Amino acid sequence: MQRTPGTPVKLLAIVCLAAPLHAGAQVSNPFEGDARAIRAGERLYANRCAACHGADGKGATGPDVTMLWLEGTNDEHVFQTVREGVDGAVMPPSFAPDEELWAMVAYLRDISTVPPFDPAGGDAGSGREIFAANCAQCHRVNGDGGTLGPDLSNIAAVRSREALIGSIRDPSETVEAGYRTVTLVAADGERIEGVVKGEDAFSIQVVDTDARLQGYLKANLRRFVHEDESLMPRFGRLRLSERELDDLLAFLGTLREDASADR
Amino acid sequence: MSMRKTLVLVSGLLLTTTVAGALFAQSDPSDSVPGDPSDPGVSYADILRGFDDPSSWLTYSGDFSGRRHSPLTQINRENVNRLAPAWTFQTGTLTRGRGFETTPLLYDGVLYVTGSNNFAWALDARTGRPFWTYQRDLPDNLTYGRVAPVNRGFGMLGNRLFMVTLDAHLLAFDRRTGNVLWDVVLADYEIGHAATLAPLVIDDKVVVGISGGEYPTRGFIDAYDPATGDLVWRFYTIPDWGEPGSETWPNEEAAMQGGGGTWMTGSYDPELDLLYWGTGNPNPDYYGASRLGDNLYTASIVAVEGATGELKWHYQFTPHDIHDWDSNHVPVQAELMIDGEERKVVMVANRNGFFYVLDRRDGELLLAEPFTDTTWAREIGADGRPIVLNNDGSGGCLPDQWGGTNFMPPTYDPALELFFVNARETCSSYVPFEPEYVRGEATTGGVVWTDRDVEYGALRAIDVMTGERLWEFRYPSATMAGVMSTAAGLVFAGDHQGNFMAFDGATGENLWYYPTGSRIWGAAAMTYILDGRQFVVIPSGTTLVAFALPRYEFASPAGGR
């Protein structure tokens, strides 16, 4: 297993970036991890924030707020942003009591992080080889691999083990926007498979299975079909045994640490 | 409140015409009094004539009918595919999360344009180049005005322009300088109010409405004296306690903070002296347990006398709404032959997914048919109330909180007897909970779960006699863009991907499109003719884009109407 050492220099850099601009010790959330506060925060979020940031925090007219901690923020910074609003943007300041804001921060942090993988079982070294043989053609990890599928460098920090198993065993169950399959038939009969990166009423922007970025005018196509199936093959038990799956997950689990060390 | 007016010194000023130079000469900040006696400006009679003079556009919808249907035919089905950008005006502003929702007014070759964050401009309608720029110095603690920093346009009378603000004021400007002539407070912005609509100027009155239905507020329509800014009358959309309609609220407290905003410009029948105005959602948006009852006059259309502000009739589209389905739409007037009798009607495609035709003299419901595929209700009962099948989304998809359409203007072509609207097909369910009140915070009271994977938008043509959907043109996602039609049989529409498009109104065939590069949100096109050349103008992103045929395309330098 190859692991990036958690060098003190890098860790120091993370702390500096994440720290608030003003001097002094970072203020911690008095309700961090408190289940009741998280429930209260969920309601407050739904009432005051969901209209712009989406009921699930994944963004609507406002940005996704579930990636904040992954991107290196901290509780105090989120608290201050909610308190003061965002200058030059539509996000207003809040006049609510501190306790309510901390409860919202606790909720946001709860939905923004996933528990670490269970370290039990799985050989990460073997998993790396399985990844190289089966996944790297389409998926990148720390700069290496294909570009057709999502970059998995941070995947263990944003997806639970159960969600990853689901995506490996049955990739068509949930396909993220930007990776949905389309089949095009050009005027000359050429058949093109790829994933949709953009679409409007008149055109479609596709990355095909050769990783070629290309836009097409719908009027020039013989037909185009949005497929329900992901381009990623199903990795059932015959293709990937339970043990191999454990190994692969163990490898993906190491990326969580590697990714955080790189920040 | 301090005001700041910025004169924009256009690069290349020395090359501009003497007319433009003269306008600049009048832009002395000390000149706050309308000074040119030779041009009295826009009269009420001019506004009444509406589209009779298509070299002007003097009120939000182009005329009082709300149809947004221009008589211009220079751009037609045969040549529209050669339409090309004539100029672009970059506002340099932000409108994060929302759109550039304005309809410019046009008078004497000058476009008067409002923008987000209470910017405003006077532009050369031939080139898009500015004469003056205004920006209001807004307070830091805006409430709804911070969430939706938009504005939908000026009203105009004489040499005055009227604009509402995000801190809930109404301003009058000298159109020649951009100087503020008077400034009156509509409501307290700190409790949740804001103002975003285009004022509607009727005979000697400036009529405006208010935003803030997501907060504990009480909506109203106001009429002001254009000369002085004095309040002439106020109509509250929620009646005083004890007055008719108040019995549809459980108690006075719930009623007096029950929302019912009036944030979209209405239409006006000068013969009947009736204003038709949509009212917004009851507050809290999704939590109905604290406001049991129909909650009049929220989610309704009200017909209010222009002279007095008295309520003549009302019709409630969504009794006891729990979906944030404001009824703030442009009410569209028409004269229809129904059973051998000409009826004066007003038409609304509502956020609840139904298309309605009402007699505009007395509010009698003549037709109500769904124009979207919602499962909320599929018919309106004999009592005029929807037969609700599924009120929370548990029995299938409901329209999301943005509705089956929204405030973006629809259009009506009387020759085709077709109503054109951008419909939104979305899939949501609603989970309410009791909100807690914090001053200055929204009290929506619930969560809306929306499946964005199944949504789409569509321009739809509705037969106003039957409510039948004649044709549709689909977009990949639900749009918030408006629609305009012309006597050439064209329909101009926008979408969320930023395409500005022209359609054959009779068939739905797409004849032309132009990718503007940013979503068209809350705005519809306007059109005018200058020097014999027809322009079509659409706000997109934070730019204003004008289209016209290449100069060699149009035949007569004097005509082409």
Mean pLDDT of A31-38: 86
- Using a CB-CB cut-off of 8 Å, the residues of chain B touching A46 are 433, 444, 446-447
Half-sphere exposure of B82 (CA within 13 A, CB side): 12
* HEC profile of A43-78: HHHHHHCHHHHCCCCCCCCCCCCCCCCCCCCCHHHH
B322-351 confidence digits (pLDDT tens): 999 999 999 999 999 999 999 999 999 999
Distance CA B472, CA B460 (A): 4
Distance CA B274, CA B157 (A): 19
CA angle B379, B213, B395 (to 5 degrees): 35
Position B69 pLDDT exceeds 80: yes
- Confidence grade of residue A145 (pLDDT, cut at 50, 70, 90): very high
| pLDDT confidence of residue A88 | 67
Distance CA B104, CA A207 (A): 40
Residue given tokens 């220099």 in the structure block: A9
Burial of B453 (0-12, 13-18, 19+ CB in 10 A): exposed
**Given CB atoms, is B400 within the 8 Å cutoff of chain A?**
no
Q: Please say whether the beta carbons of B167 and B34 come within 8 A.
A: no
Amino acid at B113: V
| pLDDT confidence of residue A116 | 67
Position B560 pLDDT exceeds 80: no
B273-284 confidence digits (pLDDT tens): 999 999 999 999
B144-162 confidence digits (pLDDT tens): 998 899 999 999 999 999 9
Please identify, in words, the CATH class of the domain defined by A181-226: mainly beta
Distance CA A36, CA A42 (A): 10
Burial of A140 (0-12, 13-18, 19+ CB in 10 A): middle
- Alpha carbon B188 to chain centroid, angstroms: 23
Mean pLDDT of A120-144: 92
| pLDDT confidence of residue B1 | 35
Say if A8-112 and A181-226 have the same CATH topology: no
| Candidates B215, B438, B443, B451, partner chain A, best to mutate (most A CBs within 10 A) | B438
A55-101 confidence digits (pLDDT tens): 888 887 788 888 888 777 889 999 999 998 887 677 778 878 888 89
| pLDDT confidence of residue B97 | 76
| pLDDT confidence of residue B554 | 64
| Higher per-residue pLDDT: B134 or A164 | B134
Nearest CA in chain A to B141: A93
Mean pLDDT of chain A: 83
| pLDDT confidence of residue A163 | 86
Position B22 pLDDT exceeds 50: no
Non-local CB neighbours of B435 within 8 Å, separated by 6+ positions: A47, B284, B287, B443, B444, B445
Distance CA B168, CA B187 (A): 6
Distance CA B386, CA B405 (A): 17
B285-318 confidence digits (pLDDT tens): 999 999 999 999 999 999 999 999 999 999 999 9
**Given CB atoms, is A227 within the 8 Å cutoff of chain B?**
no
Distance CA A12, CA B388 (A): 60
Crossing angle of helices A75-84 and A98-112, in 10° steps, is 130
Distance CA B270, CA A95 (A): 45
Crossing angle of helices A98-112 and A35-48, in 10° steps, is 100
A254 phi-psi bin (left φ>0, alpha ψ -120 to 50, beta other): alpha
Q: Does the structural domain A8-112 have CATH classification 1.10.760.10?
A: yes
Q: What are phi and psi of B403, to 5 degrees?
A: 90, 175
A189-233 confidence digits (pLDDT tens): 999 999 999 999 999 999 999 999 999 999 999 999 999 999 999
**Cross-chain CB nearest to A47 (options B98, B140, B435):** B435
B40-68 confidence digits (pLDDT tens): 999 999 999 999 999 999 999 999 999 99
Amino acid at B90: Q
Share of chain B above pLDDT 70, in %: 92
Position B31 pLDDT exceeds 50: no
Share of chain A above pLDDT 70, in %: 84
| pLDDT confidence of residue B15 | 31
| pLDDT confidence of residue B37 | 58
Alpha-helical regions (H) of B83-223: 144-147
| Candidates A44, A82, A90, A94, partner chain B, best to mutate (most B CBs within 10 A) | A90
- Confidence grade of residue A19 (pLDDT, cut at 50, 70, 90): very low
- Confidence grade of residue A25 (pLDDT, cut at 50, 70, 90): low
- Using a CB-CB cut-off of 8 Å, the residues of chain B touching A92 are 142-143, 146-147
Q: What is the per-residue burial (b if ≥16 Cβ within 10 Å, else e) of B305-335?
A: ebeebebbbbbbbbbbbbbbbbbbbbbbbbe
Looking at residue A126, the DSSP 8-state letter turns out to be H
Q: What are phi and psi of A80, to 5 degrees?
A: -65, -35
Position A11 pLDDT exceeds 90: no
* HEC profile of B21-79: HHHHHCCCCCCCCCCCCCCCCECHHHHHHHHHCCCCECCCCCCCCCCCEECCCCCCCCC
| pLDDT confidence of residue B27 | 36
Q: Look at B147 and A90 and tell me if their CB atoms are within 8 Å.
A: yes
For chain B, how far is it from start to end, CA to CA, in angstroms?
Answer: 45
B234-266 confidence digits (pLDDT tens): 999 999 999 999 999 999 999 999 999 999 999
Ordered by start, the domain boundaries in chain A are 8-112, 124-171+234-262, 181-226
Q: Does the structural domain A124-171+234-262 have CATH classification 1.10.10.10?
A: no
Residue given tokens 């997806």 in the structure block: A159
Q: Look at A90 and B435 and tell me if their CB atoms are within 8 Å.
A: no
Which one of A75-84, A167-176, B93-102, B500-509 scores highest in mean pLDDT? B500-509
| pLDDT confidence of residue B551 | 83
Share of chain B above pLDDT 90, in %: 85
Shortest Cα–Cα distance, A2 to chain B (Å): 39
B405-455 confidence digits (pLDDT tens): 999 999 999 999 999 999 999 999 998 989 888 888 888 888 888 887 889
- ipTM of this complex prediction, to 2 decimal places: 0.85
- Bridge partners for B484 per DSSP: B492
**Given CB atoms, is A23 within the 8 Å cutoff of chain B?**
no
B498-541 confidence digits (pLDDT tens): 999 999 999 999 999 999 999 999 999 999 999 999 999 999 99
- Confidence grade of residue B468 (pLDDT, cut at 50, 70, 90): very high
Mean pLDDT of chain B: 92
| pLDDT confidence of residue A119 | 58
| Candidates A47, A48, A52, A227, partner chain B, best to mutate (most B CBs within 10 A) | A47
Distance CA A148, CA A208 (A): 8
Structural domains present in chain B = 3-553 (2.140.10.10)
- Using a CB-CB cut-off of 8 Å, the residues of chain A touching B94 are 88-89
